[in-house]
Chain A
């Protein structure tokens, strides 16, 4: 993995200190109560053993009860505050990841693996929640409590404080070292294995029919399960490390108890320390070490967070590649639609290439498109027809000059260009929602009747009624509709959007031959008029009577 700057991602995941402060304070107080509870109880019992009048214990009895209740209440409040802060940050993080996606999509994302996007979104973004919750918060509260405990003990006995400080430091260091030796490596392997497994599962599930048809399902299943086994081994190793650390913390607590006992015994003998004080000092490490026990898991969480942040930063580039158009700082406005020449499109020597591929994908092309034009763009596959379509809607940057309404499109906001030039993609996306939802976003003011009318226009009127109307589901990527019907829904979408320039990229690819002419006719008929220009990209023959002009392009390489 190349080095990427993960700081922006981490910043997005980390709530501001102000938002985190309540959780931090509550966490420190809760842990402090826990330490104080044990210390006070120990003092209470040791003092009671000296059989003083019960009145002398009143203060300690109240303290014990207060700390007991305080610990539970504060812990609860801390968890609520901490989770809330983390989830607030998650909303921001999700949006910030998406904001990074928007300017790059779709053509700057070609290298993005769909399985990776899935992992990134479900796992990595969720994993980043752990940054405030399981990294920053426990570390800061642990540091506060450990520091306060050492200072408090030093006030009673410097020797005991020294033992406590050294014990805490050694235990924490040893635990971290064990994790670094055993778990870090496993952690590094786990994340890529998880991503590979997610990819393999997605491919297996989405290609199941094909794999079975070719008798390759068994082999793929074995490969998938082998991946799973490797992941399992890495995870076992990691949990062995976690077990070792828990054992270390127990060891550290016990060692500190013994060491404190031995260290302060002379002070008791010399009368510098009372019995109850000694009991308190000796038992205190058992409570403090519990706080430190959170350290290793925080370190583990940090590694996971860092890996996830790295992956997000890699998958979604922060800087838009040069081949992807950016909005200019001061975009110009186009003359209003309807004004003469406002929607004319002119290309002069326009060529293009894809990000990460220096080879030209479109040879220099001149083209003029005026309202009323119906132009068919022909050429063999690979000649750059789709590339041109992407250039026209500013998905892809170009060389040469591309003017819309007499203005260089580089001076326009890409969204503004797309309001004038609408593309019907070769593989339009059908959302896993109802027919209505799949149409309405093209024009959200469209009425029921308009939606039905446009369905009728693309030859889907009867079909929509048969399926149960506009609220019938389309199904994931059109799983529940046939190829031709899916294309028509997308066509209806493009028709709903009343733009002056329509670019149709292979609109009849999956439509029956006997209907494709009718469909082209309907489409061009709907678009025809003095105000609209239509560019049809097609590998299939388009009859002369449907178009006003033909343009043929040749491969650039």
Chain B
């Protein structure tokens, strides 16, 4: 700051001295001082910029970390209402939009708060008339900005939402391009994208026209002030009221009083996106916190029951799951032994997947879930049960990396065994999967997902394996291989629970739980809590 004032002073003095006819050699000190102040100013500037940017990067990383932690806490609750693409946009590029806000805007705002009073103070001391003129005009600028800002805030917000829906819309179109092509709708999308982007342009321009007004007001105030100062100083110079050097000094310094504020204005646009983006991220973080509260609802007290058969791997006691206020599963009792294959079956919508989610602890459920006779809290069940969901949900990496997901010391021998048990002999071991596990056919992906669950069961010696529709995409031969694998696993003393509608798999099961048949519950009740292996 001081370097700016010093530079203006020494530069003005040097010029005045020269014009007033001082010989060059008498200027040495002044010129040297000017040069020194320039260097000092340059160094300060570089240091400030660097610090600000580093701070911005740190804030961004922190927000990213917290957003991810929010997803961890919120889980599928935070995914339910948002698409993964929009979440990924918020956490990825969305946060990058904050660069402008945290990296440029905020530091400049702080700098302005510090620098402007100093410059105004110096001006007041040097030339009270100019100082007062600047003091009067400066506060007008923020007032204008706030007024215009109010008018544009809502528009900025809608622009960010438009950007988001646009980003999603485009990805949707790209993802669904083959479906669209089948119905001959791919060309119409071109028109749609054109129309949407043009609408986006129109909307953005509407916002920009207004938001540029704030910086217009700023620029106008700043440059008019310079003009006013120049004219007033000029008039007073004619009267000889102030010395020439002082007049020149005031002229050079006046723009510096407005510069920080002008930069704030200039950076405000870059910041606007960031403000909207930060809102989104903060929303997400808040959602995560809410979800945590929801999850932390007191679990039903679970106590082991006396006389529970020792060989029961998984027991359900009055398990009830509600979805949207409706009981999907109610009061279900079952006991399944080690060494058996259990098939849960029934038409769509009868709660097969919901029951699995309750067993695994994904959804809050009433009643108790006992593993090997012991009540296990919902969030610990996944350490005791190996699981493969309805969709393969593979990750990226080599086949071995994919299969050994979550393993700290991958064991190639176990990988081979797991793959064999899942009947994946037609998938080359050298396969490398793309992001989100792309690159395999539906049937191959399904068996790799089974292998992943089997590997986990083998490595950690888990007593229970739960597979949701493991053979839905397989042909009869491949299904037969999977069935053999599952029977082998059961033969080793594990409990294998499959949700399925495939007759071959149902036929291979020791116990069948049919959620669809109206009499299912009655039958279960009639046979008591123990559904024994046949």
Contact = CB atoms under 8 A, between A and B. Distances in A.
A413 B319 CA distance: 58
A246 B49 contact: yes
A332 interface: no
A488 to B, nearest CB: 9
A105 B175 CA distance: 10
Nearest to B237: A48
B267 interface: no
18 contacts: A69-B224, A72-B224, A122-B89, A122-B167, A194-B92, A194-B93, A198-B93, A201-B87, A202-B85, A205-B79, A209-B389, A214-B452, A235-B99, A246-B45, A393-B182, A483-B472, A510-B472, A511-B348
Given A79-B208, A204-B71, A210-B389, 7 more contacts: A51-B238, A87-B205, A98-B170, A212-B72, A236-B57, A432-B168, A479-B79
B306 interface: no
A172 interface: no
Interface string B472-502: 1111111000000000000000000000011
Interface stretch (A18-26, A142-150, A222-230, A400-408): A222-230
Given A242-B53, A265-B18, A441-B180, A209 B223 contact: no
B345 to A, nearest CB: 8
Contact of B183 (A225, A266, A441): A441
A227 B258 CA distance: 40
A34 B230 CA distance: 14
B248 A258 contact: no
- 4 closest Cβ pairs, A-B complex: A254-B38, A239-B53, A539-B475, A243-B49
A114 B85 CA distance: 10
Contacts of A198: 88, 92-93
Contact of B19 (A278, A422, A493, A506): A278
A522 interface: no
B187 interface: yes
B298 interface: no
A229 B48 CA distance: 22
Nearest to B477: A380
Contacts of A428: 179
Contact of A87 (B204, B230, B247, B349): B204
Contacts of A239: 49-50, 52-54, 56-57, 103
A476 interface: yes
Assign chain B's interface to a size class.
Answer: 35 or more
A333 interface: no
B34 interface: yes
Interface in A534-550: 539-541
Interface string B502-518: 11001000000000000
B527 to A, nearest CB: 23
A51 B240 contact: yes
A52 B238 contact: yes
A243 to B, nearest CB: 3
B183 A102 contact: no
A37 interface: yes
B49 to A, nearest CB: 3
A431 interface: yes
B53 A247 contact: no
A94 B76 CA distance: 33
Give the one of B21, B205, B215, B251 with max A CB within 10 A.
B251
Contacts of A49: 19, 237, 244, 247
Interface stretch (B61-69, B135-143, B144-152): B61-69
Interface string B14-39: 11001101011000000100110111
A257 interface: yes
Contacts of B475: 379-381, 539-540
B5 interface: no
Interface stretch (A2-10, A341-349, A367-375, A512-520): A512-520
Given A94-B170, A209-B75, A423-B182, A119 B227 contact: no
B190 A251 contact: no
Nearest to A105: B177
A100 B19 CA distance: 65
Interface in B196-254: 197-198, 200-201, 204-205, 208-209, 212-213, 215-216, 219-220, 222-224, 226-227, 230-231, 233-235, 237-240, 244, 247-248, 251-252
A154 interface: no
A205 B184 contact: no
Contacts of B444: 381-382
A84 interface: yes
Nearest to A227: B64
A18 B457 CA distance: 67
A90 to B, nearest CB: 6
Nearest to B211: A79
A11 interface: no
B393 A210 contact: yes
A268 B22 CA distance: 11
B105 interface: no
A419 B184 contact: yes
A422 B200 CA distance: 34
A485 to B, nearest CB: 6
Contact of B83 (A121, A382, A432): A432
Q: Determine which residue in A83, A213, A240, A509 has the highest number of CB atoms from chain B within 10 A of its CB, and name it.
A: A213
Contacts of B60: 232
A80 interface: yes
Given A83-B208, A251-B39, A213 B382 contact: yes
Contact of A91 (B198, B382, B456): B198
B227 A202 contact: no
B158 interface: no
B60 to A, nearest CB: 7
B154 interface: no
B453 to A, nearest CB: 9
Contact of B197 (A90, A242, A386, A484): A90
A41 interface: yes
A386 B440 CA distance: 13
A37 B178 contact: no
Interface stretch (A57-65, A156-164, A445-453, A525-533): A57-65
B7 to A, nearest CB: 7
A105 B237 contact: no
A13 interface: no
Nearest to A246: B45
Contact of B406 (A80, A84, A203, A214): A214
Contact of B435 (A46, A199, A211, A513): A199
A45 to B, nearest CB: 5
Given A198-B93, A278-B15, A539 B190 contact: no
A482 B469 CA distance: 12
Give the one of B41, B60, B87, B237 with max A CB within 10 A.
B237
Interface string B417-440: 000000000100000001111100
A282 interface: yes
A188 interface: no
Nearest to B255: A38
B474 A539 contact: yes
Nearest to A41: B230
A72 B219 contact: yes
B405 interface: yes
B441 A386 contact: yes
A523 B72 CA distance: 43
Contacts of A240: 46, 49-50, 53
Contacts of A418: 181-184
A83 B204 contact: yes
Given A37-B227, A64-B231, A119-B93, A213 B360 contact: yes
